Structure formats: structure tokens, C-alpha cells
Amino acid sequence: MPKSVTIHPTDVRKSGEVTFDPIPVNQYNRSLKDELDRYAREDLIRIHRDMAIVRAFESMLNDVKRNGNYQGIEYNHRGPAHLSIGQEASAVGQAFLLSADDHIFGSHRSHGEILAKGLSAIEKLDDATLLGIMRSYDGGAILKLIDTGAARSAKELAIDFLLYGALAEIFGREKGFNRGMGGSMHAFFTPFGIYPNNAIVGGSSDISVGAALFKRVNSRSGIVICNIGDASVNCGPTWEALSFATMDQFKKLWDDAHRGGLPLIMNFVNNFYGMGGQPVGETGGFGILARLGAGISPDQMHAERVDGYNPLAIIDAIARKREIILRGDGPVLLDTVTYRFSGHSPSDASSYREKSEVDEWQQIDSLQTYKDDLLESGICTSEDMAALQAKVDEAVLRSYKLAIDVKASPRADLYAPGSLLESTMFSNQHVESLDPERKPELLLPVAENPRVKRLESRSRSGIGPNGETLPKGKCVGIRDALFEAILGRFAVDPTLIAYGEENRDWGGAFGVYQGLTEALPYHRLFNSPISEGAIVGTAVGYALEGGRALVELMYCDFLGRAGDEVFNQLSKWQSMSGGMLKMPVVLRVSVGSKYGAQHSQDWTSICAHIPGLKVVFPATPYDSKGLMNSALTGTDPVVFFESQRIYDQTELFHGKEGVPAGFYEIPIGVPDIKREGTDLTILTVGATLYRALEAAKTLEAEYGISAEVIDARSIVPFDYEIVIESVKKTGQIVLASDACERGSILQTMAAKIAQLAFNYLDAPPVVVGARNWITPPDEIEDSFFPFESDILDAINEYVEPLPGYETKRVCDPEDLLRRSREGI
Ligand SMILES: Cc1ncc(C[n+]2csc(CCOP(=O)(O)OP(=O)(O)O)c2C)c(N)n1
Ligand SMILES: [Mg+2]
């Protein structure tokens, strides 16, 4: 079924108009007295208590940042603290109805949301569960510290646990919620439904969509709330997230059990400022933020503006929106009006706003207003309130004293080998199914898949029985090998999903997924919008929730569109969480050719430069299948490079057996000798392997030089020992790949090899890459990428003169210097 909608010209050319429903603005109009029959007295007081805790906690941080002490106890906190003093009602109101199954994501200004959500979870979880969480988290490290033996209830202990865990994290202590590796802007605590907060403005938007996608695909309970600022509305990722979240297919194409809108609230915490810029009146043009929903979907994302200065108005909104979501009509957009009295950060001089404006908001400070309402309604007395405040202040002071105590709360020692960061950059686990209890949903058994059947008649090796090379169309190629690995994993891991542009009926942009459409229901394989950022960002959110995602960007040049998602999110969350989170995401990208400058660059080096990403680039069917299997059974993010030049390349290195039909793995990080030799080593990355093999043949035939050709296969991690052993034997090495030479990963490899094998080398390692140009059009593309002759030229010029060899293209030191001087 390749189409969901037939486009009839008579329909789409008809005249008419688009109409919008009115957008509700601050329609909640009940007073606390009107609400008395809907809330228990203790709940109404607890709302105030939670606001007071958030206020006291952040006021303490404000004192520390501005004055270097709290209550006379000195501390120098060098890191950030973006405070939300003034915004407490919106955080506490939002959290009030949420359970631990409801997950919130946030921004750089999320201390209040963390505490409010944590306090709400503590209230709802029973004592045994709470104690279980505290005993098991980080081996009970926080509990041991805060449990002084004094008689306190599980809930009281849990509040101290929450305050200390968050504060120790903000202060970068190893006992913090994320072992001090996240800090103020990234802290979170998943057992209470508090998911990662993000220092990149708008960064949580597509991640939250991925989290909601996880809930929808895997039928998990609860909703997801994305808390981002009003200024993030202008970010590309936010728009991509909104388009992804509202795709028609969720409600129209997915099967009965999975059909429905994503369980998501995009909540814009609207404090009317970015840092100093004003989205309304200056940097934006949308007026009332709730208006945006009307541009996104016909149901206008049920958007409305709500008064975040009144906790009861927010509770009312969350209750109504949750109902919409639970009946499958999400997602929802909220424009939550609030105001921060504190600066963007404590050093902010507030030069961008009038003092009178701050005063106006302070005069109706929601903490005070709500407290006055409680007193006026007779819910409590001022003595009750004073006692409550004293208890709150004591708790904050207790957690402050503990968190700044270097003995009780040390920082991680990152100097020794095997330190916290060394052991959490990658999780390095092997997990075949992320939900072994569940059976993977397949539309037909693997053996009955039409492509699997077609492949049965193909040779699994590119070499025939008599050693002859078989025609490509008759053999299993790289694209088939990848398909086999992927289908095999779909049959094992029920959480595995794949998506990207043209992933379903088209069969993947380059045919790798042909046959998958027949095998998988929509919710496991679907077309995404052309939103590269959201493709990766949602995969991050999906993985953070416990699933495994395989996503694709057609050309690796499009990585630029997903820059933040790949370089700051996919790569960093495992280590920023102190190892609390896993990131089983495989990102397939292909290196193009024939399509010119914006479709043909090899960006392996850019990915390899970012800590936290595994990077592979197989060049044979055998390696492609084995590495894909490893990537899809691992728990780390893998950027999986493929080359469009060689998708139909057959297997030439594994004898008559060729590519095994069943499951096998190739460990990520181990290079492979593709041709043995004794005189010269050639190390290649990606499709250049085949050009290096041609060069090796010529060297043997015409110059009697025996070249050993090593295929890197992986880039990060990378085991140098195999290469060093080869160099010990040959004494010389040339490195070649299709990436532009300047800043190429080959330069790093060459430098490492020189450092580690200097005594064995007769000549410095030589790098042969593409020119430092744009990729020219197909017809003249060969002048850009390295070919056999470029490898021979480099050997002749820099390694050893080849008798009688005539250099094809100037590459002498003078020319090298000239090109460097000119930056080309
Ligand atoms: C992508 C990105 N650009 C800029 C910044 C610097 N920055 C941090 S917070 C901020 C303002 C964000 O405003 P808003 O989204 O409304 O959140 P608020 O600070 O008001 O809570 C800016 C510009 C950043 N962290 N990330
Ligand atoms: Mg703002």
C-alpha cells in the first residue's frame, strides 16, 4: 500500500478558506474557595510546601552565586545556576497530577521542575517503592549519607534524598544524581520520572517527541511533557519536533493497537524573555505563543495559554490535556505564562528590563498570593505556615551542608585510568533484546520474506567455484548483507524501530530496506518528515526511554542538519548521566558520489572528533553484516557509514562460503588485513579499500613490492595493534580514504602510528585523501577523490621511489606547501 491519500485535482484545486477555532487564553477563573470540594486540605497545603521548597532551594543557590555563602556558610560554586525564582507555581502545578510514569524533559532552567516533579512522585509512591529506589540508586550511596538514623518517615527521607541528589549534582559531586557529570543544566532522576534537562535551547523538543514515540510504540503508560522556554520557539529543532510529533500517520496509518497521537505536551514555559531578547516585540513575531498550534495541525494541537502564576490553573490545564492525550488525540501545546524575578543567571544585571516590570510581578508573587489564599480560606493558620517554612529551610540547609562537604560529597577523580568518565563514555554492553518479555511484532516470518527468498538463489560469495569473479547481480552485496542483519534484529528485539526519509515503501533511499515494508508494521518502520534533526533527536529520546532505534540520514552531508542532535545529544547523554543512561541508537549515513558538492563528502572525521560516538565504515558485505549486528546488539550510539559507490559490492575475502546467512558479529574497533604483504602497509577507510587493492596489485606486478592492505572497518574505537604489527614488518605506511585530507581522521591515525612505531618506520606515514575542495560534478569527480594513481604517486614521492614511475599528478613537497598556504 504505497499511498495513504490519493490527490485528486478536483479536490485540491477547489476554492474555499481555512478557518481556525478560537484559541483559549487564561480561561481558568475559579478561586481557591471554588476549588475546595475538588482538593483535600493536605493537597492544597502541599502545593504551597512544594513551591516553598523550590523557592528556598533556588534562593540558597542565588545567595551562593551572588555572595559566596548561604546562611554564613561559605561556598564557591563555579558552575552555572539558571534560576527560576518566580516561576515555582508553573512547575508545581504541572507536577501535581503526574505519576512517576509520566516523564518530564526540560531545559537549562529546570531546578524547579526537577524538585516539583520529584516531590510529586514522592507523594504518590508507596514507602516500600521509595525505599527500594533509594537503596538501589547508585548502590544506595545517597541514602547512606542522608539517613542519619533519626526517626523519619520514608517520604521525609525521600525529600532529603531529592534535595541532596539534585544539589550534589549541581555542585558536581560524585554522589549527585548523575555522579556530578551533568551539573545544573542536565540533572535528572528517572525513577521519579524526571528525564534529562538540556543546556541547548530547544534541545529537549525532539528528544521528548522520541520519548513519547517510545510510549506509543511500546504501549507504555504515562505521558511526556517537554518543558522548554518561550525563546526556544524560534529554534529549528522545535519546529522539526512539532512536525514530527503531529504526523498524520500516527492517527491514520498505524494499526489499531498503536494508532493515536503521541502522548506529549509541548509546554512552553513562557517567561517572556530569552536571555535578554524578547520573543514578543523583538525577536519573534507570533504574539501569543499559543497561536503556533494553529499552524501545526487541524486540531491546533489543542493549544491554549494558561496562567502559570496560579498553580490551580495549571493543574486544571494538565488534567484537561491529559484526558485529550489518553483518548489518543494528542499531542498538545501549552503556553504557560510565568515570570522570573531572578536574572537569566545570577550575574545578570537585568539591563534589558525595567525594574518597575519586575516589581509588578513581584507584587503578585504566586508564592505569597497562594499562601494568602490558603490563609483567607481558613485552610491553615499563619503558625502552620511558619512551621512549614521552618521545616523547608532546615531541609535546604541540611542538604547544602552535606553537598558542600568534600569528605561526605567528594568529586569524581578523573585522573586515574578507568575513571568515571573513562568507564561511562560508552556502556559497551551486549543486549540482544531490550524487552525480552515481549515477542517482536513481524508481519511475516523471516523465512517467508520475499527478499530473503530472492537472496536464497544468490551466491553468498563474489568468487565462483573455480575462483572466477561472479557478476554482481548474482551475488549477495553490501545492501543485501545490511538488510539481512537488520531484519534478523527486528525478529529478536521488539523495541527496535527504524525510520528516516523514504524508509518504508521506497525501501530506504538506496534499497537497503527493500523487503522490510512487507515484514514490519508501520510503528516499527516508517517514513519520517524531512527533519534530519528530529530524526536523530527522536531516536535519542526513544533510546533514553529504553528502546533501540535505527535511523537513517540519506547522505552524510545532511549530518549538518542534525548537528546538535548528533554532536551534543546522541554522543553525550551516556557520560553526562554518569552512566545511568544507555544510548542504543544506530545512525546510518551514506557517503555519496555523483551528486556534487552537497551530497558527496565523507564526514567520518567530524563524527570521530566528537567523544561518545562509535564510528564504523565497512567496505565488504561480510563486514557490513557483522558490524551491523554488533551495532544493533550494543548499547552505544554508532554512526554507521556506508558508501553509495559500493552498495552492490560482492564478498571477495571470505572464500566460497562468503557471507554467512545466519547471525554473526564483528567486534567494533578491530581492523582487518584484506591482503597480506611484507614491504609496505596501506591502511584504508571505507570504499577506498578497492582502489588500494588495485594499487597493491600494480606494486607487486610492476615493482615487486609486496603491499599489505588493512581495512580499518571501524574508526572509533580503533585497535592500533594490528596496524603497528604490520608496520613493524613493512617499515612504511600509506593511509587512504575518500575524506578531504585536511583534518581527516587519517591524520590522527598517521600521527598515532608515528608516535607508537617510530623506531620501526623507514619513512613518515603518508596520508592520501580527497582534495580540500568541494566535490566537483560527477563528470570530473575523479579529480577529487583519491585513485590508484594518487596512492602510487604518494608512495613514489614520499615513501620510496618506484623505478621508472612517472608521477601522474604534482604532489611534491613544494606543491603541498603551496596548497597549505592557500588553504586548498
Ligand atoms: C542553541 C543555544 N543557543 C543559545 C544558548 C544560550 N542561551 C542559554 S539560555 C538562553 C535563553 C533561552 O530562553 P528561553 O528558551 O525562553 O528559556 P529561559 O531562559 O527563559 O528559561 C540562551 C540564548 C544556548 N544555551 N543554546
Ligand atoms: Mg524565556
The answer to whether the CB of 300 falls within 8 A of the CB of 294 is yes
Inter-CA distances, 246 with 18, 294, 297, Å: 18, 12, 7
Output the nine-digit C-alpha cell for 754: 608515528
pLDDT of residue 1: 52
Angle, CA 608 vertex, CA 603 and CA 613 arms, to 5°: 115
Which atom number of ligand 1 is nearest to the Cα of residue 564? 1
Counting ligands in written order, the one closest to the CA of 91 is 1
State the Rg of the chain over Cα. 30
- Rounded to 10°, the helix 311-326/88-95 angle is 40
Nearest to 158 by CA among 120, 196, 188, 195: 120
| Ligand 1, atom 11, residue with closest C-alpha | 274
In angstroms, the CA 563 to CA 458 distance is 39
Which atom number of ligand 1 is nearest to the Cα of residue 279? 16
In angstroms, the CA 570 to CA 587 distance is 10
Catalytic-residue membership of 599: yes
In angstroms, the CA 253 to CA 255 distance is 7
Which atom number of ligand 1 is nearest to the Cα of residue 232? 15
Read out DSSP for 66-109?
HHSEETTEE----S-----TT-HHHHHHHHTT--TTSEEEE-TT
Mutate to test the pocket of ligand 1, among 82, 201, 344 (most ligand atoms within 8 A of CB): 201
pLDDT of residue 348: 86
Nearest to 565 by CA among 513, 610, 522, 619: 610
In angstroms, the CA 116 to CA 391 distance is 17
Query: Left if phi > 0, otherwise alpha if psi is -120 to 50, otherwise beta: which for 68?
Result: left
pTM, two decimals, is 0.98
Output the nine-digit C-alpha cell for 64: 551562593
Catalytic-role residue among 108, 523, 599, 609: 599
What's the one-letter identity of residue 506? W
- The alpha carbon of 278 and the centre of ligand 2 are apart by a number of angstroms equal to 8
- The alpha carbon of 199 and the centre of ligand 1 are apart by a number of angstroms equal to 8
Average of pLDDT values for 499-511?
93
Looking at 81-186, list the stretches that DSSP marks H as alpha helix, in order from N- to C-terminal side. Answer: 88-95, 111-124, 127-136, 141-146, 154-170
- The alpha carbon of 117 and the centre of ligand 1 are apart by a number of angstroms equal to 22
| Ligand 1, atom 4, residue with closest C-alpha | 201
Mutate to test the pocket of ligand 1, among 207, 275, 342, 345 (most ligand atoms within 8 A of CB): 275
Mutate to test the pocket of ligand 1, among 58, 108, 353 (most ligand atoms within 8 A of CB): 108
Query: Left if phi > 0, otherwise alpha if psi is -120 to 50, otherwise beta: which for 286?
Result: alpha
Counting ligands in written order, the one closest to the CA of 85 is 1
Counting ligands in written order, the one closest to the CA of 186 is 1
Which atom number of ligand 1 is nearest to the Cα of residue 230? 16
pLDDT tens digits, residue range 20-31? Answer: 999 999 999 999
Counting ligands in written order, the one closest to the CA of 565 is 1
- The alpha carbon of 66 and the centre of ligand 2 are apart by a number of angstroms equal to 22
Which atom number of ligand 1 is nearest to the Cα of residue 233? 15
pLDDT of residue 146: 95
| Ligand 1, atom 12, residue with closest C-alpha | 274
Which atom number of ligand 1 is nearest to the Cα of residue 109? 21
Work out the pLDDT band at 599, boundaries 50, 70, 90: very high
Nearest to 401 by CA among 58, 75, 115: 75
Average of pLDDT values for 592-615?
95
Beta bridge partners of 233: none
| Ligand 1, atom 20, residue with closest C-alpha | 274
In angstroms, the CA 315 to CA 308 distance is 10
The answer to whether the CB of 540 falls within 8 A of the CB of 570 is yes
- The alpha carbon of 109 and the centre of ligand 1 are apart by a number of angstroms equal to 9
Beta bridge partners of 270: 337
Which atom number of ligand 1 is nearest to the Cα of residue 269? 21
Q: Specify burial of residue 700 (Cβ count, 10 A radius: 0-12, 13-18, 19+).
A: middle
What's the one-letter identity of residue 97? L
pLDDT of residue 346: 82
Work out the pLDDT band at 3, boundaries 50, 70, 90: low
pLDDT of residue 344: 86
The answer to whether the CB of 266 falls within 8 A of the CB of 331 is yes
pLDDT tens digits, residue range 514-569? Answer: 999 999 999 999 999 999 999 999 999 999 999 999 999 999 999 999 999 999 99
Read out DSSP for 559-573?
GGGGHHIIIIIITTH
pLDDT tens digits, residue range 348-398? Answer: 888 999 999 999 999 999 999 999 999 999 999 999 999 999 999 999 999
**Under DSSP, is residue 376 helix (H, G, I), strand (E, B) or coil?**
helix
| Ligand 1, atom 21, residue with closest C-alpha | 229
| Ligand 1, atom 18, residue with closest C-alpha | 229
pLDDT tens digits, residue range 401-456? Answer: 999 999 999 999 999 999 999 999 999 999 999 999 999 999 999 999 999 999 99
pLDDT tens digits, residue range 111-143? Answer: 999 999 999 999 999 999 999 999 999 999 999
What's the one-letter identity of residue 417? P
- The alpha carbon of 171 and the centre of ligand 1 are apart by a number of angstroms equal to 21
Counting ligands in written order, the one closest to the CA of 84 is 1
| Ligand 1, atom 17, residue with closest C-alpha | 229
- The alpha carbon of 224 and the centre of ligand 2 are apart by a number of angstroms equal to 21
> Taking CB atoms and a 6 Å cutoff, what residues make up the pocket around ligand 1?
107-109, 199-201, 229-232, 271, 273-275, 344
| Ligand 1, atom 15, residue with closest C-alpha | 229
Please determine, for residue 223, whether its predicted confidence score (pLDDT) is greater than 80.
Answer: yes
- The alpha carbon of 83 and the centre of ligand 1 are apart by a number of angstroms equal to 13
Angle, CA 92 vertex, CA 86 and CA 98 arms, to 5°: 155
User: CA-based diameter of the chain, in Å?
Assistant: 102
Laid out side by side, the sheet with 733-740 consists of 672-675, 707-711, 680-685, 733-740, 766-770
- The alpha carbon of 185 and the centre of ligand 1 are apart by a number of angstroms equal to 11
Which atom number of ligand 1 is nearest to the Cα of residue 344? 19
Residue with cell 477555532: 21
| Ligand 1, atom 25, residue with closest C-alpha | 200
pLDDT of residue 221: 97
In angstroms, the CA 546 to CA 557 distance is 29
Distance of CA 218 to the CA centre of its chain: 19
pLDDT of residue 217: 98
Listed in sequence order, the residues at least 6 apart from 104 whose beta carbon sits closer than 8 Å to its beta carbon are 94, 95, 98, 113, 117, 193, 194, 195, 224, 225, 226, 227
- The alpha carbon of 84 and the centre of ligand 1 are apart by a number of angstroms equal to 13
| Ligand 1, atom 22, residue with closest C-alpha | 275
Read out DSSP for 312-368?
HHHHHHHHHHHHHHHTT---EEEEEE---SS-SSTT---TTS-HHHHHHHHHT-HHH
Please determine, for residue 640, whether its predicted confidence score (pLDDT) is greater than 80.
Answer: yes
**Under DSSP, is residue 237 helix (H, G, I), strand (E, B) or coil?**
helix
Summary mean pLDDT of the chain: 97
